[in-house]
């Protein structure tokens, strides 16, 4: 596995997937460039905003798991298809949940790496699939 793919795998396996060994703030500070941007169709988040969001997800979804299904590298870009799952406990997208319901859905992300750090990630997640599963 290339060094760029390994770096991106750390993002999913150690930062997004809840575990007991990772300090996500420290790991994301190292992995993400200072001018990092997380971009989707709705908004762009900074490094600090994403670090805060990940911390919130860890609290809201203490069993959150991201599983890399495909990873393709072209130059300094890595595209990843993941399946991710969780059982939210608390207010999740306007629903009050107690952790008894779970979801499993998919994401597609394109990471650009520059100077040994992730500079941008363009991403889409199937949140509507997750919501439908949690409502059923």
pLDDT of 1: 74
pLDDT digits (tens, 9 = 90+) for 40-83: 999 999 999 999 999 999 999 999 999 999 999 999 999 999 99
What distance in Å separates the CA atoms of residue 19 and residue 30, rounded to the nearest whole number?
18
pLDDT digits (tens, 9 = 90+) for 1-31: 799 999 999 999 999 999 999 999 999 999 9
Q: In this structure, which topology does domain 3-135 adopt according to CATH?
A: Nuclear Transport Factor 2; Chain: A, (3.10.450)
Domain ranges of the chain: 3-135
pLDDT of 36: 98
pTM for the full predicted model: 0.94
What distance in Å separates the CA atoms of residue 122 and residue 42, rounded to the nearest whole number?
11
């Amino acid at each position: 596995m290339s060094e760029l793919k390994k770096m991106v795998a750390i993002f999913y396996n150690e930062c997004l997937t809840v575990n007991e060994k990772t300090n996500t703030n420290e790991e994301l500070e190292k992995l993400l460039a200072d001018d990092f941007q997380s971009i989707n169709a709705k908004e762009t988040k900074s490094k600090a905003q994403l670090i805060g969001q990940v911390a919130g997800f860890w609290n809201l979804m203490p069993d959150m798991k991201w599983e890399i299904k495909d990873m393709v590298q072209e130059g300094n870009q890595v595209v990843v298809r993941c399946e991710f799952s969780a059982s939210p406990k608390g207010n999740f997208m306007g629903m009050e949940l107690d952790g008894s319901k779970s979801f499993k859905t998919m994401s597609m992300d394109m990471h650009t790496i520059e100077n040994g750090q992730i500079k941008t990630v363009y991403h889409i997640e199937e949140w509507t699939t997750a919501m439908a599963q949690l409502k059923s």
